[in-house]
Chains A and B, each alone.
Chain A
Amino acid sequence: MIESRTFREAFFRNRLAVLGLIGVVLIALTGILAPILREYPSGYGSELYNQPSAKYPLGSDSMGLDIFAEVIWGSRSSFYISLMAVAVASLIGIPAGLISGYYKGWIGEVIDGTVDIFLTLPTLPLMIIIAAVMGPSITNVAIVIGLLAWPSLARITRNATLKISEMQFIEAARSLGINSKAILFKHIFLNIAGPVLVNLTLVMATAVLAESGLSFLGLGDPTTWSWGTILKKAWDAGAIIDTPNPWWWWLSPSLFITLYVVCFNMLGTGINDTLNPKNRED
């Protein structure tokens, strides 16, 4: 176990992690500053299918809208959805994992059994159905993704909790009369924060993949720009295999999705490597 100061030092020495962090921060900033950077793209533009140029850095689409602006507003949606999904997943998954790992009686068994069943449910088809039921809104999509991400988070939290709750300082805290709530949410949580954090970065990454997938299948929010929505429009307009062939239309949102996921994965791998220095061999 490492203290926070040494963790920070080790983390910043890990090139992969720092690169991931920079990418994540840049995308987050783009999303937050979207209203300042570009006007919200809506209505119709006059210049259709413009190649990337000074006026349209990433070209324009079949409605004559600036794809650069769409991508920027898309990163805003992506970041919002990731955060919401992580919040929903954490709110259910972390307490569920802590409780099932600490109270080994029937309550732990019940939670763990539920997690087992949820883990075997086919995620994407279920997401499609729930998204269809809940109706297309960006917040609904985020909630659906969070609802299907909590079991894996609960499982990881539980495994870490099982390990920590066997340790003597937990028994010591009990013998000092510290109540279970404080033991769970302070003593144990402080010590499992690492693996949980790694899993949260993964949830952030998969949330964007899931949102893009749902939007691409037409189950996203048609009134909000997201990278998946842009791709859906490009696909519906036949931008990939028909002529005229505006390759820039589908390429830039795709690259942004990939960049976002790669950055979060690098960040997660970096944190993980920093937490387990044994895994590093160089």
Chain B
Amino acid sequence: MAAYLTRRIFKGLLTIFASVTITFFILRLMPADPVALVVDPKMGLEAQAAMKAKFGLDKPILEQYAIFIGNLIQGDMGVSFKTRQPVMAVIQEKMPWTLLLLIIVVTLSLLVGIPVGVRAAKRPNKGFDRFVSLLTMFSISIFIPFLSFAFLYLLAYYLKLLPTGGAYTPPPADGLTYYKDVARHAVLPSLVLFINNVATIILYTRNSMQDVLKEDYIRTAYSKGWNEKYVTRVHGLKNALIPTITVTGLMISSLIGGAVMTETVFAWPGVGRLIYDSVSALDYPVLQGAFLILSATVVVTSILSDLIIAWLDPRIRLG
């Protein structure tokens, strides 16, 4: 177990390092002069020189890379070209908004997706299962801006029920009114992401539940006289949820950074929108930082989901 964890963490660090390295070199290929971007002409000459020296922007690219990695190890992700704030602060400001969406979407998807998947698995290829299959195929195939447009048109433009974008009505109100306002703003982006993600949960739960229900030990449980509800819940679900957990981990990783389009359409001030804005502004320290956070999330969630799976299924031994 300890050996397994060490190996996983080592591999995880390697993945993060590779991801950071790849993005570093891709970003330096961007058609823009980083010196012109990082040095503010209003700054004093000394401050300009200090900044150049700190990022090593006058040095060859490999040396810049070494300085960058050195700074990173000391926890310094640099300064945003656009706002001159430390990258860490920029990301910290956006992260809660992304997390808010993430928690809503993951919770809803699991709450709806697992029961629907289980029910569809019980009677394969019958009415409910076919209906669910069709629905999931469409919701996986759908283009996020399309879904967003449809909701915006219906609920925001036509019925005028909900706000069209942003996370709150500026200036932010106080107390309960503020929370209500944020909740109203969160409805549409959450709904869009929920529809796109719940299908995956349903699909994986359904398929693995179907496989599990064919296993011998389920038949044994029936023959012991347990009723159907008990069998699916106690014997089936625990084993069937293993792929669901893996896919939930992947979903979390993709929501952290992949909600770019949803956050862009709804002007939601999260990490996805930050990535989009930073590309437009050629703000590559921020991009670099966002990527570091993203790959770290991917690594951590995948280790966590493997640990949960091992805990659920004693047949899987991590070693």
Contact = CB atoms under 8 A, between A and B. Distances in A.
Q: Interface size for chain B: under 10, 10 to 19, 20 to 34, or 35 or more residues?
A: 35 or more
B121 interface: no
Interface residues of A, number: 41
Given A205-B141, A241-B164, A132 B146 contact: no
A254 B141 contact: no
B258 A123 contact: yes
> Which of B29, B143, B254 has the most C-beta atoms of chain A within 10 angstroms of its own C-beta?
B143
Contacts of A213: 143-145, 260-261
A116 B15 contact: yes
Nearest to A219: B279
Q: Binding site of B, secondary structure by majority: helix, strand, loop or mixed? A: helix
A212 interface: yes
B287 interface: yes
A15 B150 CA distance: 30
Interface stretch (B71-79, B110-118, B151-159, B176-184): B151-159
B141 A125 contact: no
A217 B264 contact: yes
A250 B147 CA distance: 11
Interface string B251-279: 00110111011001100000010011001
B15 A241 contact: no
B31 A133 contact: yes
Contacts of A209: 143
B222 interface: no
Given A217-B260, A281-B124, A257 B146 contact: yes
Contacts of B22: 121, 126
Contacts of A121: 19, 22, 295, 298
B54 to A, nearest CB: 23
Q: Binding site of A, secondary structure by majority: helix, strand, loop or mixed? A: helix
A117 B27 contact: no
B14 interface: yes
B258 A258 contact: no
B302 interface: yes
Nearest to A280: B125
B30 interface: yes
A128 B145 contact: no
B258 A125 contact: yes
Contact of A122 (B29, B142, B157, B254): B254
B149 A240 contact: yes
B145 to A, nearest CB: 5
A216 interface: yes
A133 B138 contact: no
Interface string B103-144: 000000000000000000000110000000000011011111
Contacts of B146: 231, 250, 254-255, 257-258
> Which of A125, A212, A255 has the most C-beta atoms of chain B within 10 angstroms of its own C-beta?
A125
A247 B30 contact: no
Nearest to B144: A213
A282 B125 contact: yes
Contacts of B140: 265
A116 B15 CA distance: 8
A35 to B, nearest CB: 26
Given A120-B298, A120-B299, A258-B146, A129 B258 contact: no
B47 interface: no
Interface string A100-121: 0000000000000000110011
Given A125-B290, A129-B26, A250-B149, A120 B19 contact: yes
Contact of B141 (A117, A124, A245, A258): A258
B23 interface: yes
> Which of A205, A219, A255, A262 has the most C-beta atoms of chain B within 10 angstroms of its own C-beta?
A262
B291 interface: yes
A170 interface: no
B167 interface: no
A126 B279 contact: no
A273 B112 CA distance: 27
Contacts of B9: none
Nearest to B143: A257
Interface in A200-236: 205, 209, 212-213, 216-219, 231, 235
A133 to B, nearest CB: 5
Nearest to A212: B143
A269 B140 CA distance: 13
A130 interface: yes
B149 A122 contact: no
A205 B138 CA distance: 12
Nearest to B293: A122
B242 to A, nearest CB: 18
Contacts of A257: 143, 146
Given A117-B15, A125-B290, A262-B137, A240 B152 contact: yes
Contacts of B157: 240-241, 245
> Which of B19, B140, B145, B253 has the most C-beta atoms of chain A within 10 angstroms of its own C-beta?
B145
16 contacts: A120-B253, A120-B295, A120-B298, A122-B295, A124-B260, A124-B261, A126-B23, A128-B276, A128-B279, A135-B31, A217-B276, A240-B149, A240-B152, A241-B156, A245-B157, A269-B137
Task: Please list the 7 inter-chain residue pairs (A to B) with the smallest Cβ-Cβ separation, ordered nearest first.
Answer: A254-B146, A261-B141, A122-B257, A257-B143, A122-B294, A262-B141, A120-B298
Given A116-B15, A132-B279, A213-B145, 14 more contacts: A120-B295, A121-B19, A123-B258, A124-B261, A129-B26, A129-B287, A130-B26, A133-B31, A231-B145, A241-B153, A247-B153, A254-B146, A258-B141, A265-B141
